[in-house]
Structure 1
Amino acid sequence: MRNNIIHMYPKDDIPVEVFDWFIRIEDGALSPEDIDELKAWIAENPERAIYFPDLDNLWAAFGETDFQPISNTNKHKTFSWWSTRKAIGIAAAVVITVVSALTFLPVDTDTKIRTFETATGERHIATLSDGSSLHMNAQTKVIVDYSENERKIVLQQGEAYFSVAKNPARPFIVRSGDLSVRALGTVFNVEHITGQKSTVTLVEGAIQVAQLEEDEIRSTAVLNQTGNKAILIENSASQAASDNDSGITLMQVNIENAISWRDGKLIFSGEPLSQAIYKLNMHSTHKVILQDTSIGQEPIYGVFSLGDWESAVRAMVKIYPLKAIQESPGRTVLVARKDRSSN
């Protein structure tokens, strides 16, 4: 296994494509065609080269010795590996390379109620009896209840990615808290955080989402474009009733980021630090606790591998005014440093 390398860069306006290139470069699987693609992307905006301080070595490895995308006036903006790591106070992108366990379950041929469940650090893929597939993230519990007239799924907790086989006579319905998702043949991702919220992100096709109150539909919305996302905060029905408005919030997200867990990584582009820690804890039995909640809403930008809490903690204590205290073999607490100034 390669040594984990932490790459730190300024967090303002980091293009999402940068994260993808980090992964491709770290994997060491670039082809000459990939190099041409990277050159063309940087040539569109030479400022992008500041995120790749080892470009000279990369070009040389492919015999590209004459490609100079950065003008002399902008060279002072380029970061070396070591100067970049010193600039941690304004940085927040991480690339590490560990993947959590992924297993394939036998095809489900049972028409009775079935329960699928994953533990911390596990991901499962199951093929259901109708040909639909279910990809479960860690700490997820799903109940499958198929009948002649409908295909009902209950996401009790966690996150799951559904690829639905088309069958207009048997609609595919996913229940997540007070959120209901109805599909005929499509691909979407659903997440349920017990006591907090349910979200659904459309990958392909179209779905109808509904807010339920005591099993009665209160409001609905249709997602029909890739990257459409619906969010429902739990127990929002009473608030929505007082406001005479829907409790469903709609937004557009980067689909690759939203489902990156399927590829063994988590991509963040401005989400709260507390959310990143929650996601990391799903994939490790070693728990990271953020004691200083005032920093929990600070944005984080980066690519994390699933399960590698140690590299993530090392990065966080350099990026933010935090220090790590390992209270036990399975628990690390992040507390505020007395000197809260950046490194």
Structure 2
Amino acid sequence: MTARDSSAQIEQQAAIWAARLDARALTPAEQADLDAWLAGDSRRLGAWAMARAALARVELAQASGNTHAPARIPWLNRRFLLRGAGMALAASAVGAVALGLWSEGDHYATGKGEMLRIALSDGSIVNLNTASEMDVQFSDQQRRIVLRGGEALFAVAKDASRPFVVIAGDARVRAVGTAFTVRHEARRPVDVIVSEGVVEVSEPKAAPVRVSQGMRAMVDPRAATPIETAAIAPDTIEQELYWREGKIAFRDTTLASAAAQFARYNDEHIVITDPVLAQETITGLFIANDPRGFAQAVAESLGVVTRIDAGRIILSPS
């Protein structure tokens, strides 16, 4: 039996189709693929309509005179749901994002808590995560992206004559047609996760390494082995990609690490006053821009105290 796509997968695919159609005319083969995709599941037509409506809002903003900056739509519908007891925590929300449609040679950036989806002129799609920036530099010989900081997911359109290359610090990731994420942060190894296809990861001090679907590469020029690779489970890849929906997923994650993740998306930081409490673990799915909801869930689950003080969310033992 064929696995049924989740709503998130359908929404993502609808956004990709809508962005491609708006960026350029579909080929007859692509149009046939789109028609078949829409006919394959009754939920897809509604997702397709929503994706087209999102594009219309972007075009309306551009028509009003804002032609140089991406339109941004804040994440909506903050809801928190506590299921069961103990560490079983979950949250859900509808994540609305911007769709950017611009030509190559541009610079893109997101602020803290923002996410941007970009349709490039070659048909590739880029999802840019919070506090990230990149440059697009296309030529007749190469499609080049410079990820200056942050995190991005690349769904690369196939074009064997023009390799798709992402530069992130000392790391160089080369692909022809694939999907992968690159995370580039100060004082941390560059993290590459391949969710589809194969990429080639290189670094000035090391030979290129092929990284295939279901694998991760960590690039650190200071390490004895500058490029380390490892297999990564499908559910872990899914967990890593929840940011596309404005969510953060944790699995047996310490509260200290969870607080650091929330700090990537919010100016209001979570502070844990007790080192023992900081090492307690949490599992669940949470809204990235709702640190107060997360703190309240932790308080209810672990029996700790939460309070707001000078723009900080304080978690303390009861």
The TM-score range, normalised by the shorter chain, is 0.5 to 0.7
| Structure-1 residue corresponding to 2:80 | 4
SS in 2 for 1:275: helix
* Partner of residue 151 from structure 2, selected from 159, 167, 171: 159
1:223 corresponds in structure 2 to: 211
SS at match of 2:184: strand
Let me know the Cα RMSD of the aligned residues: 2.7
Match of 2:136 among 141, 144, 159: 144
Is residue 250 of structure 1 aligned with residue 230 of structure 2? Answer: yes
Secondary structure of the structure 2 residue equivalent to 1:237: coil
What TM-score, normalized by structure 1, do the two folds share?
0.62
Work out which of the two has the higher radius of gyration on C-alpha atoms and give 1 or 2: 1
How big is the shift at 1:276?
2.3
Out of 115, 123, 137, the residue aligned to residue 115 of structure 2 is 123
* Distance verdict in 2 for CA 1:208–1:290, change over 3 Å: farther
Change (3 A) 1:171 1:196: same
**Is the aligned partner of 1:182 residue 2:169?**
no
Alignment pair present for 1:270 and 2:252: yes
> Which among 266, 269, 284 is matched to residue 287 of structure 1?
269
Change over 3 Å in CA distance of 1:209–1:273 after alignment to 2: farther
Structure 1 residues 307, 322: CA separation in 2 closer, same or farther (over 3 Å shift)? same
Partners of 1:173 and 1:206 lie apart in 2 by: 13
Q: How many residues align?
A: 240
Q: 1:128 to 1:5 in 2, by over 3 A?
A: same
- Pick one of 186, 193, 201 that aligns with 1:201: 193
- Structure 1 residues 2, 173: closer, same or farther in 2, change over 3 A? closer
Q: CA deviation at 1:202?
A: 0.9
Larger CA deviation: 302-311 vs 312-321: 312-321
Which of 99, 105, 110 lines up with 1:104 in the alignment? Answer: 99
SS at match of 1:122: coil
CA–CA distance in 2 between the matches of 1:333 and 1:222? 43
Contact 1:272 1:298 in 2 (8 A): yes
Q: What is the CA–CA distance in structure 2 between the aligned matches of 1:292 and 1:114, rounded to whole Å?
A: 46
Distance in 2, Cα, partners of 1:279 & 1:97? 17
| Corresponding position of 1:20 | none
Partner Cα separation in structure 2 for residue 183 and residue 2 of structure 1: 37
Matched, 1:239 2:219: no
Structure 2 residue 223 is matched with structure 1 residue 259? no
2:89 matched residue in structure 1: 94
Deviation at 1:103, TM superposition (A): 0.7
Are 1:168 and 1:184, in contact at CA under 8 Å, matched by a contact in 2? yes
273-282 or 146-155: which moved more?
Answer: 273-282
Who is 2:30 aligned against? none
Give, in whole Å, the separation in 2 of the partners of 1:307 and 1:294.
26
Residue 295 and residue 105 in structure 1: after superposition, are their counterparts in 2 closer, same or farther (change >3 A)?
A: same
Residue by residue over 1:86-124, the C-alpha shift from the partner in whole angstroms, topping out at 9 and shown as x without a partner, is xxxxxx232223455511112xxx766311011122111
> Structure 1 regions of 5+ residues with no counterpart?
11-91, 338-342
Greater relative contact order: 1 or 2 (C-alpha under 8 angstroms, separation 6 or more)? 1
Indicate how the Cα distance of structure 1 residues 298 and 247 shifts in structure 2: closer, same or farther if over 3 A, else same. farther
Gap change, CA 1:296 and 1:2, over 3 Å in 2: closer
For 1:315 and 1:187, how far apart are their aligned partners in 2? 34
* Equivalent position amino acid for 2:81 in 1: I
Q: 1:220 to 1:316 in 2, by over 3 A?
A: farther
Amino acid aligned to 1:6: L
Contact 1:100-1:307 at 8 Å conserved across structures:
no
Secondary structure of 2:177's counterpart equals coil
- Runs of 5+ consecutive residues of structure 2 not aligned to the other structure: 1-76
- What amino acid does structure 2 have at the position aligned with 1:95? A
What SS does structure 2 have at the residue aligned with 1:267? Answer: strand
Structure 2 counterpart of 1:211: 203
Overall identity of the aligned pairs, in % = 28
